[in-house]
Amino acid sequence: MRDSRVQVITIITLFVLLSTTIIQQTSAVDNETRSTYWYTGNNFDINHQDLWVPFFALCDIPYSLPLRGFISDSRNYFLDFGAVDWLSEWIEYGYEWPVHEHEKDLNLQNLTGQLEYLFEKTTKRLELPPYYVDEYYAVDSVVDYVKDFDAPYEAFIPLIVMYGLNETYDDTMMHTWVIHPDIIEDTLNEAFPLITWEIELFWFDYDNHTEFADFMMEKTQDGRIIIDDDYLNRTDYILHDIICSDLRYTSSDLVLPALVMLQHNPLWSVFYQMAIGGLGGINSTFPEIDAWCLNGRSEFSYFYGGDPNHPRASITPTIIHELGHCIGQTDIHTMFGWVFASTSMSVMCSYQQPTSFDRFDMDLINNGQGLQLWGRYLDEIDYFRGFSLNTSQQTELQALEDSLSSVPNLLISSDIAQLRLLLYEADSVCDQISIELSVPRQSSDWSDFAPAIDYQIDWIIGPGIPNAESVAESIESDIDTTRMIIPFESTVLPTPIYNVTIDVHATSESFDNAVFQFWGRNMVEANTSSFSASEVPEDAWDSLPRNRVFQNQSGYAIDGYVIEEWLTDNPFTTDIPDKIHYRFYMMNLENLTQLGPDNTEIIVGALLVGAGVVIIAVVLIQRRRT
């Protein structure tokens, strides 16, 4: 009897020791605080073959592009002051452009003012109009985006390539990789699906388009192509002559040509007094062209060191960026500060070049369009009710009005594909009623405003922000927490309105702990560049400041997409289902510690197996006793 008890106790003791060991091993923590870490949305697999090349653009060079926060396609934005601020010095030293002090390190002397500044900057991305007039251009850059056209809403984008590289590059097959019309078309259709976007590539060699070749020779000075008023005006005529015979030139609702120049000489803008990769949102002399854009760089942008045997990168992100200007988007850093350039996965950033738009970009246009068109069809319903209608027509118009009441919910859920079907159906009903009544569709005299939609914006302070609760109270007492926003007024259709409510919160201890745990488990060792120190010339930073991209800084990267998904699944504030709900987090995770992986499932499984072993052992011992 005594021997059996000893055996049972021994087995249980061994099980407890084994379980403790498993827990310790699977929860192992590296207690060293990581002072150098960043977020990333791009891991580039480059093949530079040990070449040292001072590039115009940095976007395809870093192994892990250092970001200080993140937003892609969710409605959760965060900025982490603890992440390395790689961008500010590069911008100020390299371009001599000022970066606001509030966009750099955490300012403990004016923390309330700093956070309020950043929250307001973020909120402005939902408020400002989706078009702008650029004072540096010789022409206005305003597009009334949805106009008053009939469904289906179609946009035609001719990509007109002027190839001017010499015979050295004849065998590089550039036409297969330097431009991706399918990516451009997919990006626009996915981001702004109320419009059907159609892209077509037109490829010309300079030798076969002597007018353009002669024009470029005339505009070339000191090895640079001069982009000025004369260049824009004359190019506008050349583009028109190329595409005017295409049926889509007159049948499409939007025509947005993109000129792509593949030549040896860089583009020099007299408007900015600097080399550029493109200009967008340029107005045309011809009414059929709503806006056009210019894209182009030298051979060093397409090939490492200009070597035709070492292709470097396509110009596709630049084209999408400049087309973004044509449909009303602005350079993010210009309007909202450089901090956004290092936190947003938008093609409108100058800091990096994804081929996608972020949620701010998409909501600004999709919500504005949706509300404009909702207001338009409600006006047409009222217009038709001014005529003598039969019972069937009255019923049909009432059913249409009822179905249009779902517009806010579709915008809230970002179900723009379903909204497209609804609006196209509304257009079809209006067409049918117009035919039956033998009256024209309404084309003017729209209401001043469309029905409003409600926005909820949560400004969330923490984790890691000192005195978060008192700062939150101070900010909330200092701002207008209810606002009526008119995002863009110069439209022929009813103007959209947003009714915005802003709440300011400080995070809780439990939420903070969850953040530090999850972030810590997603830190991986990384480098900001795949170039070793021996490959970087000593004068790289002084001779061309943007070459800082080659400095190999070791640290820890965190996948921004993973963090964004976690914030979506684990929001600090409660979802408000009847509003478009944004959350803006300001964090300071400077004491972030790398943790081992979360092996909870492994631990539980091991414990269950161990418990089973103990039970079996006890049963066998009991049987042996009997």
Segment 613-622 shows an average pLDDT of 60
Please give the pLDDT value at position 135.
Answer: 39
Residue pLDDT, tens place only, 69-86: 999 999 999 999 999 887
CA gap 29, 17 in Å, rounded = 20
Segment 12-35 shows an average pLDDT of 53
Please give the pLDDT value at position 254.
Answer: 87
Please give the pLDDT value at position 136.
Answer: 39
| Tokens of residue 548, six digits | 């800082």
In the chain, % of residues over pLDDT 70: 77
Residue 17 has pLDDT above 90, yes or no: no
272 to 221, 277, 467, 572: CA distances (angstroms): 17, 12, 43, 43
Please give the pLDDT value at position 177.
Answer: 86
- Coil, helix or strand for 298? coil
User: What confidence tier does 524 reach under pLDDT thresholds 50, 70, 90?
Assistant: confident
Please give the pLDDT value at position 298.
Answer: 84
Please give the pLDDT value at position 131.
Answer: 46
Among 45-54, 292-301, 523-532, which is the least confidently predicted range? 45-54
Q: What is the DSSP string of 215-230?
A: HHHHHEETTEEEESHH
* Cα dihedral value 423, 424, 425, 426, nearest 10: 50
Across all residues in the chain, what is the average pLDDT?
83
75 to 82, 374, 575, 578: CA distances (angstroms): 22, 23, 11, 15
CA gap 550, 533 in Å, rounded = 8
Residue 497 has pLDDT above 60, yes or no: yes
Residue 301 has pLDDT above 60, yes or no: yes
User: What confidence tier does 28 reach under pLDDT thresholds 50, 70, 90?
Assistant: very low
CA gap 483, 51 in Å, rounded = 54
Which of left, alpha, beta for 150 (phi over 0: left; psi -120 to 50: alpha)?
beta
Residue pLDDT, tens place only, 422-475: 999 999 999 999 999 999 999 888 999 999 999 999 999 999 999 999 999 999
User: What confidence tier does 6 reach under pLDDT thresholds 50, 70, 90?
Assistant: low
The answer to whether 86 and 528 have CB atoms below 8 angstroms apart is: yes
User: What confidence tier does 88 reach under pLDDT thresholds 50, 70, 90?
Assistant: confident
Pinpoint the alpha helices (H) of 53-209.
Answer: 87-95, 111-127, 181-191
Beta strands 254-255; 224-227: pairing state: unpaired
Residue 488 has pLDDT above 90, yes or no: no
- Coil, helix or strand for 258? strand
Tokens 């249409």 sit on residue: 400
What's the farthest any 2 CA atoms get from each other in the chain? 107
Please give the pLDDT value at position 555.
Answer: 85
In the chain, % of residues over pLDDT 90: 52
**Number of helical H runs and strand E runs in the chain:** 20, 21
The answer to whether 496 and 371 have CB atoms below 8 angstroms apart is: yes
User: What confidence tier does 538 reach under pLDDT thresholds 50, 70, 90?
Assistant: low
The answer to whether 589 and 82 have CB atoms below 8 angstroms apart is: yes
Residue pLDDT, tens place only, 267-288: 999 988 888 889 988 889 998 9
User: What confidence tier does 623 reach under pLDDT thresholds 50, 70, 90?
Assistant: low
CATH architecture of 154-328: 3-Layer(aba) Sandwich (3.40)
The answer to whether 141 and 281 have CB atoms below 8 angstroms apart is: yes
Residue 400 has pLDDT above 80, yes or no: yes
The answer to whether 617 and 11 have CB atoms below 8 angstroms apart is: yes
552 to 10, 95, 387, 535: CA distances (angstroms): 55, 21, 73, 10
210 to 163, 207, 260, 364: CA distances (angstroms): 12, 6, 16, 42
Residue 349 has pLDDT above 70, yes or no: yes
- Coil, helix or strand for 498? strand
Segment 567-595 shows an average pLDDT of 95
387: Cα within 13 Å, side-chain hemisphere? 19
Residue 197 has pLDDT above 90, yes or no: yes
User: What confidence tier does 146 reach under pLDDT thresholds 50, 70, 90?
Assistant: low
Please give the pLDDT value at position 239.
Answer: 95
User: What confidence tier does 138 reach under pLDDT thresholds 50, 70, 90?
Assistant: very low
Of residues 239, 201, 167, 235, the one with CA closest to residue 316: 201
Residue 134 has pLDDT above 70, yes or no: no
620: Cα within 13 Å, side-chain hemisphere? 9
Handedness of CA 175, 179, 183, 188 (dihedral sign): negative
The answer to whether 531 and 553 have CB atoms below 8 angstroms apart is: no
Residue 395 has pLDDT above 80, yes or no: yes
Handedness of CA 609, 610, 615, 621 (dihedral sign): positive
Residue 8 has pLDDT above 60, yes or no: no
- Alpha carbon 204 to its chain's center: 32
Segment 596-621 shows an average pLDDT of 58
Of residues 345, 346, 353, 378, the one with CA closest to residue 451: 378
Residue pLDDT, tens place only, 359-377: 999 998 899 889 989 999 9
Residue 100 has pLDDT above 50, yes or no: yes
CA gap 76, 97 in Å, rounded = 29
Please give the pLDDT value at position 554.
Answer: 79
CA gap 344, 273 in Å, rounded = 27
